[in-house]
Structure 1
Amino acid sequence: MKSRTLLAAGTALMLALSATGPGQAQSNSVDEIVVTGSKLNEYDATETPQVAVIHRADNLIIQVKVVCDTREKGQRLEELKATIRNVLKEAAKDPRIDLGQDSDEIIGGFDESLLDEMILPDGKPDSSYASFIVKTSIAKDDTYRTATGRLESFIKRVGKVGRTEILAVGGFELTLIGPAQYRPAVIAAIAEDARKSAAAFGPDYQVKAIGLEHSLAWYRAGPLDLALYIPYRLEISPLGK
Structure 2
Amino acid sequence: MKPQAIIFDLDGTLLDTLRDLADSVNEVLEARSFPTHPVLDYRLFVGSGIYKLIERALPEGQRDESLIAECVMECKATYKKNWNRTTSPFPGVAELLDGLTERKIPFAINTNKPQKYADLNVQEFLAKWQFAEVVGQREDMPMKPDPAGPLMICEVMGIDAEACIYLGDSDVDMQTGINSGMTPIGAAWGFRNSDELVQAGAKAVIDHPMELIDVIETFKR
Relative to the length of structure 2, the TM-score reads 0.25
Q: Which has the higher helix share?
A: 2
Bigger-Rg structure (1/2) = 1
Relative to the length of structure 1, the TM-score reads 0.23
RCO higher in structure (CA 8 A, sep ≥6) = 1
Q: Which has the higher strand share?
A: 1
